[in-house]
């Protein structure tokens, strides 16, 4: 890992062809193979911490602590920060609960030297970070399925934003597409 003078915030999400982001474990699994696992591990290894909201914590803390493999081992060992007003005593190793001042706390974390901060998913927590202008890179993996219902990448009432395409191409496994953006400022 290369230490940076300030951290970047990378938000990575899976999205269906029709824009659904919720519950990807129910629809993305058949497309998430060895290539995706290796790419995800590289992303984790280049990150100094994972940030999440309470819903992501609830999902990940049930799935990863007892899962074997290099990805799970790295995820379980790395620092994790949860923004929640209700979680008091996290059971997942190396997890710290922070308050609800997402924008202020994350802005401070970004000013510290270190490797990237990673966020998975784009629910309420991800939208808060995006609307606050804190996301430096948005990685979208498009999964070739139409999902009948769920939460969409951008919910109603959210702030508009413009993004610049950095890279587009096939995903790490067959059928997936990978898009990488940075916010267009100004």
Kindly report, residue by residue over 66-83, the tens digit of the pLDDT: 999 999 999 999 999 999
pLDDT score for 121: 84
pTM beyond 0.75, yes or no: yes
Kindly report, residue by residue over 115-143, the tens digit of the pLDDT: 999 999 888 899 999 999 999 999 999 99
**138 in Cβ contact with 182 (< 8 Å):** yes
| % of the chain exceeding 70 in pLDDT | 95
Whether 156 shows a pLDDT value over 70: the answer reads no
Interatomic CA distance for residues 176 and 134, integer angstroms = 27
Confidence bin at 171 (pLDDT 50/70/90): very high
Q: What angle do CA 99, 103, 108 make, to 5 degrees?
A: 85
User: What would the DSSP string read from start to end of 64-100?
Assistant: STT--SHHHHHHHHS-EEEE-SS--S--STTEEEE-S
Kindly report, residue by residue over 7-37, the tens digit of the pLDDT: 999 999 999 999 999 888 889 989 989 999 8
What integer is the mean pLDDT of 77-93? 95
């Amino acid at each position: 890992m290369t230490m940076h003078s300030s951290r970047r915030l990378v938000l990575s999400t899976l999205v269906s062809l029709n824009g659904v982001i919720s519950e990807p474990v129910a629809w993305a699994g058949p497309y998430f193979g060895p290539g995706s696992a290796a790419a995800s591990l590289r992303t984790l290894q280049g990150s100094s911490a994972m940030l999440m909201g309470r819903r992501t914590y609830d999902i990940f803390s049930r799935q990863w602590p007892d899962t074997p493999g290099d990805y799970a081992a790295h995820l379980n060992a790395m620092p994790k920060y949860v923004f929640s007003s209700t979680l008091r005593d996290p059971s997942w190793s190396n997890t710290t609960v922070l308050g609800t001042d997402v924008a202020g706390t994350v802005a401070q974390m970004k000013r510290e030297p270190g490797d990237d901060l990673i966020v998975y998913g784009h629910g309420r927590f991800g939208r808060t970070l995006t609307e606050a202008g804190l996301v430096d890179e948005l990685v979208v993996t498009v999964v070739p399925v139409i999902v009948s219902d769920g939460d969409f990448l951008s919910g109603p009432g959210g702030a508009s934003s413009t993004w610049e395409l950095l890279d587009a191409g096939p995903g790490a496994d067959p059928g997936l597409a990978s898009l990488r953006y940075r916010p267009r400022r100004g």
